[in-house]
Amino acid sequence: MDERDLVKQVRAFASSELRMNILLCLKNGERDVNDLQKALGGRNTTILHAIKGMIDSDLVIKGRYGYRLTNIGQIKTSALEYVMRIFENLETNPDFWLSHDISCIPPDFLDGLGMLFQSEIIFPDSSTPLKCHDKLVSMLARSKKICAILPVLIFPKNSDIFLSSLQRGSRVDLLITDKVVETLFDEEGALSTEFRQALKFENFKLRMTSSDAKLVLIVTESFVFMGLWRHDGVYDVGSGTIYIGDSAVTWGMRAFKYLFDASSDVGEADLLEVYSSFRRSALDGGRSDEGRGSPPEEAKTIMLIEDNVGHAAFINRLFEENGSIWNFHHAINLRDGLRRIEENKGGSFLVIADYLLPDGRGLDLAGDAQKPQEVGFPLIILTGFGSEKIAVQAFKSGAMDYVVKDAESMRKLPEMAKEALRKWDEDMRQKPPEGDQNLGETESGQKRKLKI
């Protein structure tokens, strides 16, 4: 049978809404015409006419008490339900699927996406872009087996998510791309402590691929997390979706195994070799730029004070995707943040602090300041509340800006940071010299008391 004949058969099968509804009613067992009429409405004669055509098509057979599906009818009805679930999901979230690149999903697995849609789905929300990421972190903490494909780091490199899982005895299989390797090392060329410790566990297997994989996939015994790239080639940090259930896990493990088996095992020495290669290429590129007379871009330093590691990873990723060169430092509380600020005293940096932190508020860093110059460094406040009162309080305390934690606002953070640093540098150039003014002092030279 050629493709055109198959299309005719599918069209005949799905040509009548009543026929499809009768099939769905009969999938749970035999029913008579009166049962069908009560469930579907309409006239009995109309239902009987539809059933006659379905008997002729070998979909339905007359039973002892009414009508039931034939074997062919059961198979086609199961396929109908599968397609309906796919349609339902696509119609519920059309923008999600239209705005993301799914070319990274092999065709064989694209056909099986319906298995994901048979599960409980936690979709990202534009008003709470980190909802799925936060949920993922808490679910991973309870997982006994973790299989992950990470072409980008969706967690901070110093996160202990995988290490703590290994210490609990969980199995972790991780596939990274060679582009991720460079982000695992610090400025001195040392592999992150958490990753180096993880490599010592027998229940940890690390593999690497040089392919341009554009799919974040994490599979456990109970759920699948999937993140996608936008069509502009940038990973969408707010796209992560969680699928819970056996059918989703079956699909996820097949997809993971397909990509994991095509990669190679690596150890610390291999990672160092890849990192060194990247650094040599970067230095060669820098020398080439110097030869052409174009000076390298100066790195900008960001101090992020945020106790939620998921939010920190999200923000870190936004800055990485921005294209400029950023030195990104993360602290989880005010005291750690203040220590890092003191260590960088005299340098050019910007502080982004969450409004609510375990040991106080981000605005406590401003002390009694009333304008940015009195704070001693440019400060941007993050808040989960779109409150005008907080905004006014932030500006009165010397913050240069504030950002509400929603997808649209947070994506503007890198540009806001550039503008804040530009304005700060401009103000500092225009400011008359007053001798050495230490961090934490006002313009008049009086010590400003920090509220922490």
Mean pLDDT of the 172-185 span: 88
Rounded (to 5) percent helix, strand, coil in the chain: 45, 20, 35
Distance CA 219, CA 221 (A): 7
Mean pLDDT of the 115-126 span: 73
Neighbour tally for 283: CB within 10 Å: 10
Confidence at residue 446, expressed as pLDDT on a 0 to 100 scale: 41
Do 410 and 309 reside in the same domain of the chain? yes
Mean pLDDT of the 54-60 span: 92
Distance CA 62, CA 51 (A): 9
Mean pLDDT of the 125-137 span: 72
Phi, psi of 106, deg, nearest 5: -55, 145
Of 276, 166, 314, 153, the residue nearest 218 (C-alpha): 153
Counting other chains too, the contacts that 104-111 makes at CB distance below 8 Å and 24 or more residues apart are 104/213, 104/214, 104/215, 104/228, 104/229, 105/215, 105/255, 106/255, 106/258, 109/251, 109/254, 109/255, 109/258
pLDDT at residue 434 above 70?
A: no
Confidence at residue 170, expressed as pLDDT on a 0 to 100 scale: 96
* DSSP β-bridge partners for residue 61: 68
Neighbour tally for 176: CB within 10 Å: 24
Mean pLDDT of the 143-153 span: 93
Of residues 317 and 285, more confidently modeled: 317
Confidence at residue 297, expressed as pLDDT on a 0 to 100 scale: 54
Residue 246 belongs to a domain: yes
pTM for the full model? Answer: 0.66
Confidence at residue 433, expressed as pLDDT on a 0 to 100 scale: 55
Mean pLDDT of the 282-293 span: 55
Q: Which of 362-366, 392-396, 419-423 has the lowest mean pLDDT?
A: 392-396
Distance CA 300, CA 325 (A): 6
Residue 447 belongs to a domain: no
Give the CATH number of the domain where residue 74 resides: 1.10.10.10
Do 264 and 323 reside in the same domain of the chain? no
Give the CATH number of the domain where residue 112 resides: 3.30.870.10
Highest mean pLDDT pick, 155-169, 244-258, 326-340, 426-440: 244-258
**Amino acid letter, residue 408:** E
**Amino acid letter, residue 347:** G
What's the domain range around 187? 100-273
Do 171 and 115 reside in the same domain of the chain? yes
pLDDT at residue 286 above 50?
A: yes
Q: Which of 72-76, 153-157, 251-255, 361-365 has the lowest mean pLDDT?
A: 153-157
- pLDDT bracket for residue 112 (50, 70, 90): confident
Mean pLDDT of the 118-141 span: 76
Do 307 and 395 reside in the same domain of the chain? yes
Do 209 and 68 reside in the same domain of the chain? no
Do 203 and 70 reside in the same domain of the chain? no
Do 118 and 36 reside in the same domain of the chain? no
Number of domains into which the chain is organized: 3
Mean pLDDT of the 264-268 span: 91
Do 161 and 209 reside in the same domain of the chain? yes
pLDDT at residue 26 above 50?
A: yes
Question: Of the candidates 85, 116, 150, which is a domain's last residue?
Answer: 85
Give the CATH number of the domain where residue 407 resides: 3.40.50.2300
Mean pLDDT of the 72-97 span: 85
Distance CA 399, CA 394 (A): 5
Confidence at residue 290, expressed as pLDDT on a 0 to 100 scale: 52
* In the chain, % of residues over pLDDT 90: 29
pLDDT at residue 447 above 50?
A: no
